[in-house]
Chains A and B, each alone.
Chain A
Amino acid sequence: MSETYDFLFKFLVIGSAGTGKSCLLHQFIENKFKQDSNHTIGVEFGSRVVNVGGKTVKLQIWDTAGQERFRSVTRSYYRGAAGALLVYDITSRETYNALTNWLTDARTLASPNIVIILCGNKKDLDADREVTFLEASRFAQENELMFLETSALTGENVEEGFLKCARTILNKIDSGELDPERMGSGIQYGDASLRQLRQPRGTTTQNKQQCNC
């Protein structure tokens, strides 16, 4: 039997090479740190069903290679994404400086409604920090991005990053800003939205969100 969910969101994970994109995805899906991570070839794929605001959402996540040689291949995945995690490494100014380019790519290639969250990864390596929280959050504000500092090693804020992004998309659906039926929205209905109808209202609200953001 296939898993049931109310919505399916397509997510992207983008950012320079070596910022820990695949590790973030691995941590989110497997709940552990990926020890022997290597450069991604092309685009990898993972998915997980999460509970957001009483709705079950399947996140279909495309983890892109950060290396320049794969850039044109990864770009071809941007269209049709509902959300994106834009990742830099707080211990590498170079990856932070590249954010503008990544952002331009995402804004021009993906749907204009794409919800992007900026993730400063490797939070655990605070001693080697080259990018301050403040300047990154200012950058996020200027570019209308949500912002979190994460650690794929400890798992800190990893789940939050994905969930925050998903919640924003759900809100946009509720407010009518996003139309899931539109082609290329990166959103699909699951057949659980049917089941919802026949279940008494109370049962789904029981497992309230554990996340506090």
Chain B
Amino acid sequence: MMERAMEQLNVQLNRLTRSLRRARTVELPEDNETAVYTLMPMVMADQHRSVSELLLNSKFDVNYAFGRVKRSLLHIAANCGSVECLVLLLKRGANPNYQDISGCTPLHLAARNGQKKCMGKLLEYNADVNICNNEGLTAIHWLAVNGRTELLHDLVQHVSNVDVEDAMGQTALHVACQNGHKTTVLCLLDSGADINRPNVSGATPLYFACSHGQRDTAQILLSRGAKYLADKNGITPLDLCVQGGYGETCEILIQHHSRLFQTLIQMTQNDEIKENMLRQVLEHVSQQSDSHYQRILTSLAEVATTNGHKLLSLSSSYEAQMKSLLRIVRIFCHVFRLGPSTPNNGNDMGYNGNKTPRSQVFKPLELLWHSLDEWLVLISTELDRNRKNPSSSSSSSEIASLLLKQREVDHSGSTPKLPSLLDPQIVMETEVYADGEDVISMTANRLSAVIQAFYMCCSCQMPQGMTSPRFIEFVCNHDNVLKCFVTRNPKIIFNHFHFLLECPELMSRFMHIIKGQPFKDRCEWFYEHLLAGQPDSDMVHRPVNENDILLIHRDSIFRSSCEMVSKSTNEKLKQGIAVRFHGEEGMGQGVVREWFDILSNEIINPDYALFTQSADGTTFQPNSNSSVNPDHLNYFRFAGQILGLALYHRQLVNIYFTRSFYKHILGIPVNYQDVSSIDPEYAKNLQWILDNDISDLGLELTFSVETDVFGAMEEVPLKPGGTSILVTQGNKAEYVQLVTELRMTRAIQPQINAFLQGFHTFIPPSLIQLFDEYELELLLSGMPEIDVQDWCRNTEYTSGYDPQEPVIQWFWEVVKSLTQEERVLLLQFVTGSSRVPHGGFAYLMGGSGLQKFTVAAVPYTSNLLPTSSTCINMLKLPEYPSQEILRDRLLVALHCGSYGYTMA
């Protein structure tokens, strides 16, 4: 009894010391569940001695499955690479083919994690390599996914079918190709894997390699004779490469199947393919060699030519063909600009120098340009014919047929095959149109799109910013036809004549037509072109780089803004502005708006002496004496930058400039009326000289003026030798113009130049000239609010009108119905300013002091338009017989007459 007790005590003591020494239990708990969690961490750490010790004498079931996924300890060992424990477990009878809840065997796990030794041991213990898990994956799939070639090498000898498919019909080769494991692919192929095996959707190994742009893998497959097969939806490996923009893989496909080259080129016609991806691919292929470059471009030129000709077929869809042509030409020009991979003849950009192979690529397009030329000549002939014989109806039947064709085209999408029913209504209508005129209107859009393509091709051979002489010559040759196009359909300018914005020499020809277009359309065009080439800054909200934030001190806003802006780059400022005020948290659009608002107020702060107020105190212009501030020109440049930047980002500023300064920004010459904004009395005197015969007045004026230069009177000639040229009745207009320029421009020329230098860093001069001075004010400073009631209350009537007069009643009803923009136009029309003075209409200023808005009666004759005298804020309103006519005439005057004054 004692001995037994002693013995037991010894055992317990022994256990206790062992346990204490190892800092863990030395005896397995009775139940499997608890035991397995005791063993698991030891297995994971491959503490095989301890495991072995614990398992000794225990009744633990080595195949006991536990946890959520029901794995055995053998799974754990295989997964963690605990090879000693693995062997121990196997020796104790663990089942090597035991599957967990997802059907994975220990071999799967060892394969997945690349546990080479474990895998070897499992195989020794007859683990079955062909078992699939629930998704149908076998051990070789796992090895192939992760590219464990060495292990695969060992395993594949035991595999009965190397092409074993998973649930999706995917073999190990498929997954290896998809992931681009070159050596794994080679190993599988060497082991007899089927190189053309399709999965359930018909995708082959090559298809998988292409879908992920695995260039080297595709190369291996193709050199081993892989076939080029589409999947069940007809999607080809090439389609996949283009979709992903995988240029290198495309290149390899083309190397092996040269016909795919044409297919690739033809893809440019497919508008479902992303243009940037396709461009990327073509770009890459073109850079392989000079001959690739030549071939790509020549083929693109051919496709573009065919497309252009289709576009010129009147029964084709204008939209689709136009888009297709412009897309191809865009890609063409992009690839051309890159140049060949070896730029040995890169310098010859001249269009006429067709000697070098590089410009040879344009040759196919010559066919299209030739057709374009011939079409324009034809239209020109038609125009002449119409002019001579306006009632000719030679082509009436053609028009009828065309309209029918167009109808068919339009309807073919929706209705299945519309039979060409002759709708008598249509024939009637078309008989009415009926001559060469309609040939013109039907081709104008199409020809204009081809002209756009022509321009793109011409300019991609020129250095940036230069217009090709060939294109200028083209426009000059077809001047009458092009003008005829845009006069009939001004939309053409905005849709296709983008070249105008890049070529000032051509713009001037079309300016009067463009200026006649609605302000809104020109605005859209302006911003579309201004932001072209910028990444979509509005679309993507880029996280702001901490270094790009403009940190502004509120108490020295002008100086700190100037400092921050000059530190940043123009490119960054174009991409976006982020402002934070020193010591404040706020960021975002609101802060940016506030910054522009406060800063613009600071720019006109009299303390800086940069700008002076106009006579009526509402507008500003550069101060001719700003040089008291030695740094003034830098500040003007900065002011120009801020205004330009505000316009660029559609932010409004809180400054209104004088009419003449807006003209300076636009590069429009000033006239004597502009003088009234700074010196109304003097402007009246100039007006008087112009209005009266000065021959016998004995004014003894010469072409010179006396100015006060720091207290000393100095005679400044208006033109060379001006001091001795008398002003006469004959040359007084020139005198007035020169003296105006002296007062308005020459006195502040350095300031204007510095301002424009800053302004033009963000706004190109060619773009801003789309607008007149009134519109520029709207763009920069926004639309003022106009209170019609206040306006009405502060209006006076003369020459027979009184508030009860029906014409006056109609007038105010019309004003109420006008849009805010039209009201501003009316205000501008009558007062020359778009703003209501501070305090309302009661404070409206005229040439000499307060001058209320006045409506004066004028006898009505048919079609007579309202006129105005801006210096006395007077609207001369004819006594219209009805409200409709009043409204109509008023709107005509507002929309046509808001610029280009003639003195009433």
A residues in contact (CB < 8 Å) with B? 1-2, 34-45, 60, 62, 69-70, 72-73, 75-77, 79-80, 183-184, 188-191, 193-194, 198
Stretch at the interface among B18-26, B304-312, B504-512: B304-312
| Residue B601, interface by CB 8 Å | no
Q: CB-CB < 8 A to A194: which residues of B?
A: 228, 257, 259-260
Q: Which residue of B lies closest to A62 (CB)?
A: B309
Known: A70-B378, A76-B367, A76-B371. A45 touches B398 (CB 8 A): no
Q: List 16 A-B contacts (CB under 8 A).
A: A38-B397, A38-B401, A41-B314, A41-B443, A43-B313, A44-B315, A73-B371, A73-B374, A73-B378, A75-B374, A76-B374, A194-B259, A194-B260, A198-B227, A198-B228, A198-B229
What is the minimal beta-carbon distance from A4 to any residue of chain B, in angstroms?
9
A2–B263 CA distance with the chains assembled, in angstroms: 10
Give 4 nearest A-B pairs by CB, closest first.
A38-B401, A76-B371, A191-B263, A45-B313
Known: A62-B309, A72-B378, A75-B374. A38 touches B398 (CB 8 A): yes
Chain B interface main SS type: helix
Docked-complex contact A183 and B259, CB < 8 angstroms:
no
A163–B401 CA distance with the chains assembled, in angstroms: 28
A192–B400 CA distance with the chains assembled, in angstroms: 40
A34–B315 CA distance with the chains assembled, in angstroms: 15
Docked-complex contact A41 and B439, CB < 8 angstroms:
yes
Docked-complex contact A43 and B312, CB < 8 angstroms:
yes
Docked-complex contact A45 and B309, CB < 8 angstroms:
yes
Q: CB-CB < 8 A to B374: which residues of A?
A: 72-73, 75-76
Within 8 Å by CB of A41, from B257, B262, B266, B402, lies: B402
Docked-complex contact B228 and A43, CB < 8 angstroms:
no
Docked-complex contact B309 and A1, CB < 8 angstroms:
no
| Residue B375, interface by CB 8 Å | yes
A23–B648 CA distance with the chains assembled, in angstroms: 56
Q: Which residues of B in the span 412-432 have a Cβ within 8 Å of any Cβ on A?
A: 420, 422
Q: CB-CB < 8 A to A72: which residues of B?
A: 374, 377-378
What is the minimal beta-carbon distance from A27 to any residue of chain B, in angstroms?
14
Docked-complex contact A183 and B298, CB < 8 angstroms:
yes
Q: CB-CB < 8 A to B404: which residues of A?
A: 36
Known: A38-B401, A194-B257. A1 touches B371 (CB 8 A): no
Docked-complex contact A42 and B298, CB < 8 angstroms:
no
Q: CB-CB < 8 A to B263: which residues of A?
A: 191
Q: CB-CB < 8 A to B229: which residues of A?
A: 198
A35–B443 CA distance with the chains assembled, in angstroms: 25
Docked-complex contact B266 and A35, CB < 8 angstroms:
no
| Residue B839, interface by CB 8 Å | no
Q: CB-CB < 8 A to B309: which residues of A?
A: 43, 45, 62, 77
Docked-complex contact A191 and B312, CB < 8 angstroms:
no
What is the minimal beta-carbon distance from B882 to any residue of chain A, in angstroms?
46
What is the minimal beta-carbon distance from B521 to any residue of chain A, in angstroms?
30
Docked-complex contact B367 and A193, CB < 8 angstroms:
no
Known: A36-B420, A38-B400, A38-B401. A191 touches B262 (CB 8 A): yes
A45–B409 CA distance with the chains assembled, in angstroms: 13
Q: Which residue of B lies closest to A198 (CB)?
A: B227
| Residue B753, interface by CB 8 Å | no
What is the minimal beta-carbon distance from B404 to any residue of chain A, in angstroms?
7
Q: CB-CB < 8 A to A80: which residues of B?
A: 305, 364, 367
A34–B420 CA distance with the chains assembled, in angstroms: 9
What is the minimal beta-carbon distance from A52 to any residue of chain B, in angstroms?
19
Q: CB-CB < 8 A to A77: which residues of B?
A: 309, 367, 371
Q: CB-CB < 8 A to A69: which residues of B?
A: 378, 381-382
A189–B254 CA distance with the chains assembled, in angstroms: 14
Q: CB-CB < 8 A to B302: which residues of A?
A: 183, 188
Chain B's interface size range is: 35 or more
Contact with A along B238-271 (1 / 0, CB 8 A): 0000000000000000000101101100100010
Contact with A along B362-381 (1 / 0, CB 8 A): 01100100110111011001
Docked-complex contact B442 and A41, CB < 8 angstroms:
yes
What is the minimal beta-carbon distance from A8 to any residue of chain B, in angstroms?
9
Docked-complex contact B270 and A73, CB < 8 angstroms:
no
Q: CB-CB < 8 A to B375: which residues of A?
A: 42, 73
What is the minimal beta-carbon distance from B238 to any residue of chain A, in angstroms?
8
| Residue B130, interface by CB 8 Å | no
Docked-complex contact A42 and B314, CB < 8 angstroms:
yes
Q: Which residue of A lies closest to B436 (CB)?
A: A69
Contact with A along B845-880 (1 / 0, CB 8 A): 000000000000000000000000000000000000
Q: CB-CB < 8 A to B397: which residues of A?
A: 38-39
A35–B312 CA distance with the chains assembled, in angstroms: 24
What is the minimal beta-carbon distance from B767 to any residue of chain A, in angstroms?
36
Docked-complex contact A188 and B422, CB < 8 angstroms:
no
What is the minimal beta-carbon distance from B384 to any residue of chain A, in angstroms?
12
Since A40-B398, A62-B309, A190-B259 are in contact, a sample of 15 more A-B pairs with Cβ atoms closer than 8 Å, ordered by chain A residue number, is: A1-B234, A38-B398, A38-B400, A39-B398, A41-B439, A42-B313, A44-B313, A44-B315, A45-B309, A45-B315, A60-B306, A76-B370, A77-B309, A191-B259, A194-B257
Docked-complex contact B259 and A41, CB < 8 angstroms:
no
| Residue B654, interface by CB 8 Å | no
Contact with A along B257-301 (1 / 0, CB 8 A): 101101100100010000000000000000000000000001000
| Residue B761, interface by CB 8 Å | no
| Residue B487, interface by CB 8 Å | no
Docked-complex contact B395 and A39, CB < 8 angstroms:
yes
Which among A41, A70, A198 has the highest number of chain B CB atoms within 10 Å? A41
A103–B315 CA distance with the chains assembled, in angstroms: 27
What is the minimal beta-carbon distance from A183 to any residue of chain B, in angstroms?
7
A198–B395 CA distance with the chains assembled, in angstroms: 53
Docked-complex contact A45 and B310, CB < 8 angstroms:
yes
| Residue B316, interface by CB 8 Å | yes
Q: CB-CB < 8 A to B420: which residues of A?
A: 34-36
A73–B370 CA distance with the chains assembled, in angstroms: 8
A198–B257 CA distance with the chains assembled, in angstroms: 12
What is the minimal beta-carbon distance from A38 to any residue of chain B, in angstroms?
3
A1–B257 CA distance with the chains assembled, in angstroms: 19
A35–B183 CA distance with the chains assembled, in angstroms: 67
A75–B263 CA distance with the chains assembled, in angstroms: 29
Q: Which residue of B lies closest to A65 (CB)?
A: B398
A2–B239 CA distance with the chains assembled, in angstroms: 11
Docked-complex contact B370 and A36, CB < 8 angstroms:
no
A69–B386 CA distance with the chains assembled, in angstroms: 14
